[in-house]
């Protein structure tokens, strides 16, 4: 059968779950492998759910020989409890998945980072995302796409106070997010997902970093 193969990590999350549905419905993909730690409860002929121990990713190497690798993993400090635990999910797992996939011949690595990612930042979160970006650049993929969304909007099962307040302000103050401030405008998780899928179909090689307003433009086309 013609078509590409994809590996996705984070398929139970806001962006990742939206992306998973886009990928399995897309004619460009014949198979989508979803690395999860709990079942997805979706059945689809193109989907292969792989329940893994993320601390032993190398044991699942035989699923990593794909065309496109999509990383939508992440957590919050509230859930992770410590910065070390958060770093493991937001940086170590994405880098290890990329390392194994590159070794298995994957061509394109697409990862969700965050607005303001900066390895020199004083604050932990932007510094962590900046370090993620630096580490994935060292993996040597032919094509690397880094997505830096602003505050994410969408339906979550859990309540995140900071994001709810941010979303409320962002919606109420839409008129402020023009010109150079457009990159701060909140963005729907499903728009990020659509943009990742579209970028995966583009032929250009090399590294590209997509700011939130660019993600919005691509995802809404």
Ligand X SMILES: NC(=O)c1ccc[n+]([C@@H]2O[C@H](COP(=O)([O-])OP(=O)(O)OC[C@H]3O[C@@H](n4cnc5c(N)ncnc54)[C@H](OP(=O)(O)O)[C@@H]3O)[C@@H](O)[C@H]2O)c1
Shortest distance, position 151 Cβ to ligand X, whole Å: 4
Q: Where are the beta strands (DSSP E) in 58-133?
A: 68-71, 108-112
Catalytic residue among 88, 107, 125, 135: 125
**Under the criterion CB under 6 A, does residue 98 sit at the interface with ligand X?**
no
Q: Which of 40, 50, 89, 104 binds ligand X (CB under 6 A)?
A: 89
Of 97-105, 136-144, 145-153, 202-210: span binding ligand X (CB under 6 A): 145-153
**Under the criterion CB under 6 A, does residue 73 sit at the interface with ligand X?**
yes
Which is nearer to ligand X, 75 or 137 (by Cβ)? 75
Total chain residues near ligand X (CB under 6 A): 23
Give the number of other CB atoms < 10 A from CB of residue 153. Answer: 21
Q: Is 175 helix (H, G, I), strand (E, B) or coil?
A: helix
Which is nearer to ligand X, 30 or 96 (by Cβ)? 96
Shortest distance, position 8 Cβ to ligand X, whole Å: 9
The CB-side HSE value for 184 (13 A sphere, CA atoms) comes to 12
Q: Is 109 a catalytic residue?
A: no
**Under the criterion CB under 6 A, does residue 15 sit at the interface with ligand X?**
yes
Q: Is 129 a catalytic residue?
A: yes
- Is 111 buried (19+), middle (13-18) or exposed (0-12) by CB count in 10 A? buried
Tokens of 179: 């010109």
Q: How far apart are CA 89 and CA 87, in angstroms?
A: 5
Q: How far apart are CA 38 and CA 204, in angstroms?
A: 35
What letter does residue 152 receive in the DSSP assignment?
E
Which residues are catalytically annotated? Answer: 125, 129
Residues that bind ligand X (CB under 6 A): 10-16, 37-38, 54, 72-75, 89-90, 112, 114, 149, 151-152, 163, 189
């Amino acid at each position: 059968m013609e078509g590409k193969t994809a590996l996705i990590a984070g398929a139970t999350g806001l962006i990742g779950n939206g992306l998973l549905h886009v990928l399995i419905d897309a004619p460009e993909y014949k198979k989508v492998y979803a690395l999860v730690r709990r079942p997805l409860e979706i059945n689809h002929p193109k989907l292969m759910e792989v329940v893994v121990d993320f601390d032993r990713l190398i044991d699942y190497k035989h699923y990593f020989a794909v065309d496109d690798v999509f990383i939508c993993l992440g957590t919050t400090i509230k859930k992770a409890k410590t910065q070390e635990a958060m770093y493991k999910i937001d940086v170590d797992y994405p880098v290890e998945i990329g390392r194994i996939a590159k070794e298995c011949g994957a061509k394109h690595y697409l990862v969700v980072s965050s607005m303001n990612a900066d390895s020199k930042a004083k604050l932990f979160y932007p510094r962590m995302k900046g370090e993620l970006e630096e580490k994935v650049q060292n993996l040597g993929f032919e094509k690397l796409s880094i997505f830096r969304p602003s505050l994410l909007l969408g339906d979550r099962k859990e309540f995140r106070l900071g994001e709810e307040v941010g979303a409320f302000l962002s919606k109420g103050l839409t008129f402020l997010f023009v010109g150079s401030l457009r990159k701060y405008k909140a963005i729907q998780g499903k728009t990020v997902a659509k943009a990742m899928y579209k970028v995966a179909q583009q032929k250009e090689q090399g590294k590209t970093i997509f700011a939130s307003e660019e993600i919005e433009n691509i995802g809404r086309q």
